[in-house]
Amino acid sequence: MKRRQFLRTLGILLVLLPFRIFPFSQDKKISFKYGVASGDPTNSSVILWTKLSGVESKKKKVRWEVSDQKDFSRIIAKGRVTAKLSDDFTVKVDARIPDQFNGERIFYRFTADKIYSEIGKTITLPSYNPRSFNIAFCSCSNYPAGYFNSYKEIAENTDIHLVLHLGDYLYEYAVDGYASSEAKEMNRLVEPKHEIISLDDYRKRHATYRKDNDLKKLHANKPMIAVWDDHEFTNDSWKDGAENHQKNEGNFQERKRNALKAYYEWMPIREKGKKEKIWRSFKIGNLINLMMLDTRSVARDKQLDIESYFEGKNFKTKSYKRDLQKPRKLLGNEQFKWIKNNNSNEFKWSIFGQQILIGPKYLPNILSQIDIDEFPSYIQRFRALSGKEIPYNTDQWDGYPKERDKFYKIISNSQANIILAGDSHCSWVSNLYDKSNFIGVEIGAPSISSPNFVDTFGSLVNSIEKSFVESNRDLVWMDGKNKGYTEISVHSDFIEAKFHYVSTVKSKNYRKLKPISFRIEHNKPI
């Protein structure tokens, strides 16, 4: 056979060979540089995520595998999925896991063009009642404000089964925006450099965050259940607008759609129906009914503008309190109906993961006694509210008191309620009451890196913390100087809550601080 005829015949044979031998076209620079992630575990399935880089075509076939062995000597689930240019070459798989591996640690990976991703670890939620189940929750991870040291700590904490992110996973500001004064020195400059508005902008900002090694490590080691807050869109957003959205930035609803599409592309979150409706529930035996809520995007009416009630150094208290009591939606009727249908006293603990502080918070007495003239003017104005029972943050549940009353009424038939919150950048533990009836306990998470009280008040922070507790009768404890995360170890009759802190977010050389712990007895105030 002549050489030319041989080569032609060989070419035809290669085309006819089964797809499994040469599964995809070859791209020269394929990589999984953004790592892997898992999320939204149920009793039988879990979302697996990755992103392809270096793809030169409009789509690419990717294989995925799940094993109960780290060396993948036994495959328990596998399949193929297509990475598409239209989805920024992100990949999500809702992997069905065989029942015999329920609640057990499993491993997963992806491959394309014979190139493997790193190996991730995850679980499905146990359908039985475990002796205990540990959940970490966190919020407010501002890339230019500091290093994600606490993400590394969560990843390496072998007690933690599941991570909740309660919002502000990323921030929308320009490179010289909020909390960015030391970003250049720390090599923490964001991309794009301008404030994010377009779909491409939001994708690039997600990519900036996901190149962080500590965040990649967290996602590779723990399954995450996430909800957004405002900065995934823009600051102080509500259903039809935001404080940080101006007319020259285009249509807000279009911006919101861009943010939503990028969020669903980059986050290991299950997609069901309309993307805006992020509320969903997860069950762990009869021990935990975990309900994740949306207080930000779908139903929220515009916040009451507290600044408009100041007249010089005086505050129009009577009209402000009257206007606070006017109907103003936060959760909205559809979500309230969902909560009512899914809330059940069959579970020992009803845990609500949501974005904002729900317990009443008033400014402490001490602000009227100290010299704060060197602080920003907005802080000086708020001196008029110090020591008075006047809600000062209308972006939190305090700005929507009728919605809070309705929520308390719906959840009052639970065995025991724990409300988790992010957003504030500080740590809080509060007993919650509907008039004189005990409703549950609120636990507010510190920030991962965003500024808190110590960054504003410096050496006054200890006095301010103490005065906050003294000025808020339902507040058990608060911390405004440390960054970190919170862990709850859920047992049948009690929960141990631990606040884990790092010594600094301005350096990769840090110390773990001694955790601060609280024991929460079943259906009892602290």
With b for 16 or more beta-carbon neighbours within 10 A and e for fewer, the 330-356 pattern comes to: bbbeebbebbeeebeeebbbbbbbbbb
**Res 28: pLDDT:** 63
Do 364 and 387 form a contact (C-beta atoms < 8 A)?
yes
Closest to 414 (Cα-Cα) out of 333, 285, 292, 522: 522
**Res 26: pLDDT:** 55
Rg (CA), the chain: 25
pTM of the prediction?
Answer: 0.94
For the domain that residue 137 is a member of, what is the CATH number?
A: 3.60.21.70
**Res 20: pLDDT:** 37
DSSP structure class, residue 258: H
Closest to 147 (Cα-Cα) out of 424, 519, 449, 363: 449
Count of domains observed in the chain: 1
Q: Which phi and psi angles does 499 have, rounded to 5°?
A: -100, 115
Reading the block at residue 335, the tokens are: 């979500």
Give Cβ neighbours of residue 26 (< 8 Å, ≥ 6 apart): 113
**Res 246: pLDDT:** 97
Sign, CA dihedral 246-247-248-251, equals positive
For residue 299, being part of any structural domain is answered with yes
State the DSSP H helix or E strand holding residue 37, giving kind and residue range, or none if neither. Answer: strand 36-39
For residue 276, being part of any structural domain is answered with yes
Q: Using CA atoms, how far apart are residues 97 and 418, in angstroms rounded to an integer?
A: 29
Is 478 buried (19+), middle (13-18) or exposed (0-12) by CB count in 10 A?
A: buried
Do 74 and 68 form a contact (C-beta atoms < 8 A)?
yes
Mean pLDDT, 10 residues at a time, the chain of 526 residues: 43 38 56 98 98 96 98 98 98 98 98 97 98 98 98 98 98 98 98 98 98 98 98 98 98 98 98 92 98 97 97 92 97 98 97 98 91 75 91 98 98 97 98 96 98 94 97 97 98 98 98 98 98
For residue 107, being part of any structural domain is answered with no
For residue 15, being part of any structural domain is answered with no
- The pairing of strands 106-112 and 115-116 is antiparallel
For residue 13, being part of any structural domain is answered with no
For residue 19, being part of any structural domain is answered with no
Distance from CA of residue 431 to its chain's centroid?
Answer: 23
Phi-psi region of 425 (alpha: psi -120 to 50; beta: other; left: phi over 0): left
For residue 236, being part of any structural domain is answered with yes
Q: Identify the domain containing residue 231 by its residue range.
A: 125-521
For residue 415, being part of any structural domain is answered with yes
Task: Provide the β-strand partners of residue 306.
Answer: none
User: SS3 of 466, please?
Assistant: helix
Query: Tell me, what amino acid is at 133?
Result: F
